[in-house]
Structure formats: C-alpha cells, structure tokens
Amino acid sequence: MEQKTILTQKLEYVKGILAIAEKYDHAVNVLSYDQETICPIESMEEQGEVWAFLNNQSYKLIKEPAFIEAAEYLFEHREELEEFDRVMAEQLHRNYLQSKNVTPELQHEFMLTFNRAFVNWSKAREASDYSLFAASLKEVADVNRRMIELRGADASGKTAYDTLLDDYERGMTSEVLDEVFGACKERLIPLLEKIQKSSKEIRTDFLSRRVEDEQQARMAKWLLAQMGFNFDRGAITTSEHPFTAGMGRNDIRVTTHYYPDQFLSSMYSVIHEGGHALFDQNQPQKNYDHFIIGGKTLGMHESVSRFYENRIGRSEAFVHFVYPKVCEIFPQVMADVSEREFYEALNVVMPSLIRTEADEFTYTFHIIIRYEIEKALFAGEIKVEDIPAMWNRKYKEYLGIEPTSDRNGVLQDVHWTSGFGYFPTYAIGNFYNAMYYNRMKQEVDVDAAIREGNFAPVNSWMVGHVFAKADRLSPQEWIRDITGREFTPVDFLDYLEAKYSRIYEL
C-alpha cells in the first residue's frame, strides 16, 4: 500500500512539472513559428535569444534533481503503471539518458548555436554564398558531437552518426540504411535510365504558367478542407520553407510558399503539410493528458505527410476529383489541358535540383545524397568545407545534373541548422506508407473513395491503424502492428516500378 502511495505521489509531481514545462514549450513554438513566417530578418537573432531563454526555462524544470529522481523512480516501477503512464516514464527515461550530462547552461549555449546557424543560413541562402554559413554549420556538427560525447556509454548507437539517426528514428542504424538505400539504387538507377530513354512524351509547358498568390491561397484552403483539416483548430500562412507547427492540442498550423510560375509547388506542399496536420489533429486526448505527444518519430510523421502528398495526391483517382477545381481556380493554366495530361504532368520524371520540388520517383535520390554526405562528415571522411563539392558531384552521379548556385544546391534546406540525422526519415516514411497502403487496400476501396473526394474512409482507417498508437510504440513495433510485417523498402520499390512503367509505357 505504501509503495502505491509513493508511486502516486511521484506520478502527480512529475505531471505537475511537465504541465508547467508545456507552457514554456508552447511559447517557444509560437516564437519559432513567428521567426519563420513574419519576423524581420534584422530581429531574428534577438528573437532567437528570447526563444533560447524560454526553451532553457523549460529545460531547467526537467533538470531539477527532484524531478529526475521522481521520473527515474517511475521508470524503475513502470510495470506497475497503466499503459499511458508507463509510456510517459519510458519517454522521460530516454530523454534523461540523452541529456543527463547537459547542464542548463550548456543547453542554452547549444540553442544559441542553432539559432545563429538559422540566421546565418537565411543570410547565406539569400546571398547564395555557402561561405557565410560554413562556420555555423561546423559549430552545429561540433555541438552534435559534443552532445553525443556527453552521453558516454548511454549513447544509443555504435557510432556518433548512428546515435543521431536513433534520435530521430529509434532503432534505425546506418547499417540498415546502407542496405535499404543500396536496394533503392540497385532498382531505381536502371529504371531511371529506361524512363529517360522512353519515347513517351509528357506535356509540362502549362506548369510554368503564371498564377497569382490569391488564386494559390484559394486552392490551398480548398485542398486542406477536402482533406479534413479542421480550421477551427488550425491555420495556414506562408513561409520561405513550408512546415507544420504543433502549438498544442487545438492549434496546428501549416505554411506554404507561393511561386507565381510554379503553382504545383504550393498545391503539393499544402497536401504534404496537411498530412502532418491531420496526424496532429487526430491524436488521442489521452496522449496529451499523459504528456506523450512527442513519442512518434519523424519517420512515422513523414510517412503520413508523404502518404497524402504522393500515394493519394498523385494518384489517378485524386486527379479525377481535383481536376475540375484546378480548372476553376486556375483557368489561365488549364484551359487547354486534359485530365490525363494533368495526371501525367504531376508524375513526370525529371531530375531536378530542389528536393522539395522533386518528382516522386527521383525524390529518394535527394535523400540518399544527403545521407551519404552526413555519414561521411561524421565518419571524418570529409570536412564542412568539402560538402558543396561532394553535393555537386553526387547530383551529377545520381541525377545527371549539377547545381548552378549554392542557393539551389547545398543551401536549399534549413534542416542542418538544427542538427544532423533528420533527412533519412523522409525516405523511411515512404517505405512505411507503401507498406500500410497495401494493408489499407485490403479493407478500404481507396480509389473509389478518393475519386469522389471522400476522404472519410481513408482518414478513419489512418486514425484507427496509423495514428492511434504512434506515440506508444517503437517504429518497429508500430509498422508490425499495422501491417503484420517487418520493415522493408520492397513495397515502395514495387509501387514505383509498376506506376512509372505504366506511365512511361515501358
């Protein structure tokens, strides 16, 4: 009886501290969102200092000896807790091992480093000059290495880079990625060569016709509404790099970017970010009540966003549904374009420099390139100064094209400003969603529903099978729970091969 009383006291204390930390985290998220949307560039560093300060206040709370003692007590007695509290205790223990030797002072120093990197990346990208960012990128890599060294024997991977991979996708290693990316290269490189030699001509001239921002904004809101995005619990605006920000249970915000001569860019970034938003808007309330909302991995999240963007958004069924609306909102673009021409243009295979604009087929190569650069950097095979040359060389090797500037090359992505190990999750997400799409088809007539613009049966299946347990299971357990199978890239590769062989009449 006494044991349960102590356990209950510890549980209440931990949840009380987490509730306070959550308020700081909410403010941090709002500031971060503001910085990437409307914050003036000259104010970014100052605002980043406020962001780092508030982030540090939250961090200090979980570094208090009393909190650590209580949280570790819960972990030691986790089998006596109900499921959601047990998951919370396990998450707190993982977080403790990652940061137990990182003092609040060090944490604040690290956050300032990441903020400076973001500011310098923004300036370097604007000037298309990697040299303005290189020093900051080295600092970021050094911080990552230092954080791993501070974990000592508790580091989760065999190598520093494996530890970074595990931070974003628990259980993932470079050994696994070498194998799956090797399979991708083995099957996709020959297929790309066949596609490029195909006599099939796909019309794309209309994709660069001018579209006003107001038209694109109308389309963005319509697309989110069709997907099931709840505007009473979410919002949309613009940013340089589209993203989704979860402020809290009832505040999920997405952003996009409008290019006057690339209307598809906004359409598909909205569908992608809308997928992230649906994942967040459809989380069980109990996940918030038990502070486990951060349990899902980035691979899980990217699987959902890319499921809606590609498996749904680039399907013939979706094109049939959306085509009349695209004609209505973009009449100057679509006046002489048939539904079939629109579908084929959405799926044209055209090696390009910008990852976020890449076609579904070549996208995987963009991720492999970043993975191979990161791995080489942390293995000591290259230095930060060598990254642009390696980047350009690999684009030539895999896609047959070379960047014409740092802006459309090494400076195009913001992710390295906050650390390494993130990029593989995009490809991992594609592998996951190919697996659960095949499982979904056994229970839902996906094409029939989407042709009618009826997302309800698809969303319902996703809520019940993909969303519900994502915060409570490891990635390996999660994909096995959904599909009954072990993680594999084969479903995704089979899908690409079948789809693009049809389109290109191979």
Q: For residue 150, is it within any domain?
A: no
Beta bridge partners of 476: none
Contact between residue 181 and residue 427 where contact means Cβ atoms under 8 Å apart = yes
pLDDT interval class at 318 (50, 70, 90): very high
Q: What is the pLDDT of residue 240?
A: 84
Distance of CA 116 to the CA centre of its chain: 22
Measured distance CA(395)–CA(381) in Å, rounded: 19
**Number of domains within the chain:** 2
Whether the per-residue pLDDT at 413 is higher than 90: the answer is yes
Are residue 309 and residue 431 in the same domain, yes or no? yes
High-pLDDT (> 90) share of the chain, %: 93
Which pLDDT score, from 0 to 100, does residue 45 have? 87
Distance CA 74, CA 101 (A): 20
| Residue in 235, 244, 193 with CA at minimum distance from that of residue 500 | 193
Same domain, residue pair 295 and 361:
yes
In CATH, what number is assigned to the domain containing residue 460? 1.10.1370.30
- From residue 470, give the alpha-carbon distance in Å to each of 68, 86, 292, 455, 493: 25, 15, 10, 21, 24
How far, in Å, CA of 459 to CA of 455, rounded? 6
In the sheet where 251-256 sits, what is the strand order? 234-238, 251-256, 244-248
Whether residue 84 is found in the same domain as residue 206: no
Q: Is residue 133 part of a domain?
A: no
Which positions ≥6 away from 309 have C-beta within 8 Å? 268, 271, 272, 275
Residue 73 lies in a domain: yes
**Are 311 and 434 in the same domain?**
yes
CB atoms closer than 10 angstroms to residue 93: 16
How many angstroms separate the CA atoms of 278 and 290, rounded?
20
The answer on pLDDT for 153 being more than 90 is no
Whether pLDDT at 2 is above 70: no
pLDDT higher than 50, residue 1: no
Q: Judge if 123 and 181 occupy the same domain.
A: no
Residue 429 contacts residue 303 (beta carbons within 8 Å): yes
SS (H, E, C) 236-249: EEECCCCCEEEEEC
Based on the domain organization, do 113 and 238 belong to the same domain? Answer: no
pLDDT in tens, 214-235: 999 999 999 999 999 999 999 9
Choose the final residue of a domain: 95, 112, 127. 127
Is 105 found in the same domain as 8? Answer: yes
pLDDT at 48: 87
Residues 413 and 494 in one domain: yes
First-residue to last-residue Cα distance in the chain: 71
Measured CA to CA, the distance from residue 255 to residue 503 in angstroms comes to 31
| pLDDT, mean of residues 19-31 | 95
Sign of CA dihedral 70, 73, 74, 80: negative
Is pLDDT at 302 greater than 90 in this prediction? yes
Confidence at residue 155, expressed as pLDDT on a 0 to 100 scale: 84
- Among the candidates 97, 127, 157, a domain finishes at 127
Residue 182 has pLDDT above 80, yes or no: yes
Q: Taking residues 26-50, what's their average pLDDT?
A: 91
Give mean pLDDT, residues 378-386: 97
CA distances in angstroms from 21 to 14, 294, 397, listed in the order given: 11, 14, 47
* Residues designated as active site: 273
Q: What does the pLDDT look like over 241-258, one tens digit per residue?
A: 899 999 988 999 999 999
**Tokens 């509290």 found at:** 85
Q: Same domain for 53 and 179?
A: no
Per-residue pLDDT reduced to its tens digit, 157-176 = 889 999 999 999 999 999 99
- CA 119/CA 99 separation, integer angstroms: 25
User: What is the residue-averaged pLDDT of the chain?
Assistant: 95
Q: What are phi and psi of 256, to 5 degrees?
A: -145, 180
| Cβ neighbours of residue 495 closer than 8 Å, sequence gap 6 or more | 434, 437
Whole-model pTM? Answer: 0.93
Residues 202 and 273 both lie in one domain: yes
To 10 degrees, what angle do helices 213-227 and 316-329 make?
140
- Does 156 map to a domain? no
Same domain, 229 and 376: yes
Residues 287 and 402 in one domain: yes
**151 in any annotated domain:** no
Domain extent at residue 305 = 174-503
- Is position 154 within any domain? no
331-369 pLDDT, tens digit per residue, is 999 999 999 999 999 999 999 999 988 999 999 999 999
Bridge partners, 248 (sequence order): 251
Nearest Cα residue to 402 out of 469, 462, 352:
352
Q: How far is CA 19 from CA 48, 56, 61, 448, in A?
A: 23, 15, 10, 44
